[in-house]
Homo-oligomer: A and B are copies of this chain.
Amino acid sequence: MYICKVKLEEAIKSNKFKNSVQKAGLNVLYTAWWLKTMSSKELKSFDLTHEQYNVLRILKGKHPEKMCVKDIASRMIEKSSNVPRIIDRLESKNLIERGQGEVDGRQTVMALTKNGVTVLENATEALNSIWENAISISEEDANDLNSLLEKLRIKE
C-alpha cells in the first residue's frame, strides 16, 4: 500500500468530527500508523521489525552492560509489548546474547552481540535518513508539537 501524505480527512474519508479534540485524537492515531509503517518498510531490509529495533536500541543504551527483561520492558514505547518473545527472535538472529541473571536467578539478562551492534548502527542510519526526509517539520514546530502532546496526556 502506498503511504500517501494526505490530510486526515482524506485519509479516513470523513470530515465529521465531534470536535477538534476528537479530531486530534484520531490524527495522533493516524500519524502514528503513518510513522510506524514508514519505519517498518525501511527496517525490512535489515530483517527487523519496528519492535525488534526498539529493543536493540534500548540495549544499546547500556551496552556493553547487560539488561534484564523488565528493564527493557519499562523503556518500550508500547508498554504492553511482550518482551520475552521479541528477544526470542533477536537471539535466533544472533543479534543479542542472553543468559540467566547471576545476582537474581529469576532474571534473563542480555546484551547486544557484535553483529547486533553493527546491524543496529546500519538500521539506525537508514531510519534517521528516512525520518529526516519524510518528516517535514521544523525543530521549532516539533517543540510545539511535543508540548501539545504532553498537554493532551497530562492534566496541568
Contact = CB atoms under 8 A, between A and B. Distances in A.
Interface of A: 1, 3, 5-8, 11-14, 16, 18-37, 61, 74-80, 128, 131-132, 135-137, 139, 141-146, 148-156
A145 B33 CA distance: 17
Contacts of A78: 29, 33
B7 A150 contact: yes
Contact of A25 (B16, B135, B150): B135
Given A20-B142, A26-B77, A33-B80, 4 more contacts: A20-B146, A24-B145, A25-B131, A32-B32
B25 A35 contact: yes
Q: How many monomers of this chain does the complex have?
A: 2
A26 B53 CA distance: 13
A38 to B, nearest CB: 10
28 contacts: A3-B79, A7-B154, A11-B77, A12-B76, A14-B61, A18-B128, A19-B142, A20-B142, A21-B135, A21-B142, A22-B128, A23-B146, A24-B137, A27-B149, A28-B32, A29-B77, A29-B78, A30-B77, A31-B149, A32-B32, A32-B33, A37-B79, A135-B153, A136-B152, A144-B148, A145-B148, A145-B149, A148-B148
